[in-house]
Structure 1
Amino acid sequence: MAKSRDTFNKKEKEKLKQKKKQEKQDRKDARKSEEKSSGFEDMIAYVDEYGNIVDTPPDPTKKREEIDVDSIEIGVPKYAASEDDGASVRKGKVTFFNESKGYGFIKDEQTQESIFVHINGCLDKIQENDKVTFETEKTPKGLSAISVKLV
């Protein structure tokens, strides 16, 4: 008796191929059998009052919210000066000051933030650990102390 040339592994691979082919044919038949409704009504989408896309039309009996047109701001609102923009005199302590370079930093007593100070903004000669009063101004790099006086 002659031995078959098909090994077990070859037979298993062939079975898998046939199974996949059959599954593919079943899926194809299922797609064809489904009814496709490609009517105009199925393609329409509506937007509800919250901006979500839904398939149901809006309810005409529902009361709409009225919006005051004048209350809508287009663009960036104008800058309103706040009380923190340097209008008030602040107190602080000089934490660092380099006389050769002419700049330093003052730690504000209330906010504990470090504020830059340049020698041009000083009215008195200051050193490290001095108690000072100052005003602030907004610069492109942040707050800067001006009108610095010793206490």
Structure 2
Amino acid sequence: MSESFSKKEQRNKKAKAKQDKAQKMADRKANNNKGKSLEDMLAYVDENGNLSPVPPKTRNTEDISLEDINIGATPRPAEDPTRTGFVSFFNFSKGFGFITDDKSKESVFFHINQLAQPVNEKDKVSFLMERTPRGYSAVNVTKIDAKGK
């Protein structure tokens, strides 16, 4: 039986495709990146943050002791916790008032139980700040005389 021209052509196309497929597979195996050594996979970063395949040149570096490294916020110098201000509002019947702090100009709540002596509105006072669940509150409120204390 003789083959027709189209059957021969089809058989040759299949053989050529099979050969191309085998060639591609051989190329992939030859250029496979798997199994590289560790040195081939390493990348280095220079002082400018750029990647390079060669290690950076070693320079003379300065050793820093661990005690010289300061982690966290810089401690603030100790300041006097006593603040001064004036009574901007006071309701004697309800037992509370507000002091305007001289330094921050903030209004600070105080309760009548924190008074060392009776005060009126616009009196100069000294006090301590205490953190409460509702914010800051003035404690140990004492009246300052016109002379200073």
Which interval holds the TM-score relative to the shorter structure? 0.5 to 0.7
Deviation readout 1:53-77 (Å, 9 max, x if unpaired): 73342322x1223212112356x67
- Per the alignment, residue 5 of structure 2 pairs with none
Contact 1:102 1:119 (C-alpha < 8 Å) held by counterparts: yes
Return closer, same or farther for 1:138/1:59 CA change in 2, 3 Å cut-off: farther
| SS of equivalent residue, structure 2 residue 64 | coil
Contact 2:127 2:140 (C-alpha < 8 Å) held by counterparts: yes
Task: List runs of 5+ in structure 2 lacking aligned partners.
Answer: 1-26
Deviation readout 1:8-60 (Å, 9 max, x if unpaired): xxxxxxxxxxxxxxxxxxxxxxxx9xxx683545531335568x573342322
Contact 2:43 2:51 (C-alpha < 8 Å) held by counterparts: yes
* Count of residues in Structure 1 that have an aligned counterpart in Structure 2: 113
- Letter matched to residue 88 of structure 2: T
Match of 1:132 among 120, 124, 129: 124
Which structure has the bigger radius of gyration? 2
- Letter matched to residue 59 of structure 1: K
Identity, in percent, stands at: 32
Q: Please, what TM-score do these two structures have when normalized by structure 2? A: 0.53
Alignment of 1:1-80 (within 5 A): 38=33, 39-40=36-37, 41=39, 43-47=41-45, 52=49, 54-55=51-52, 56-60=54-58, 62-73=59-70
Q: Please, what TM-score do these two structures have when normalized by structure 1? A: 0.52
Q: Distance in 2 between matches of 1:93 and 1:81?
A: 26
Q: Distance in 2 between matches of 1:119 and 1:48?
A: 66
Please say if 1:83 is aligned against 2:75. no
Return closer, same or farther for 1:78/1:109 CA change in 2, 3 Å cut-off: closer
Contact 1:122 1:148 (C-alpha < 8 Å) held by counterparts: yes
Contact 1:137 1:144 (C-alpha < 8 Å) held by counterparts: yes
Q: Distance in 1 between matches of 2:32 and 2:62?
A: 36
Contact 1:124 1:150 (C-alpha < 8 Å) held by counterparts: no
Return closer, same or farther for 1:107/1:64 CA change in 2, 3 Å cut-off: same
Deviation readout 1:80-99 (Å, 9 max, x if unpaired): 6721522xx52x22122233
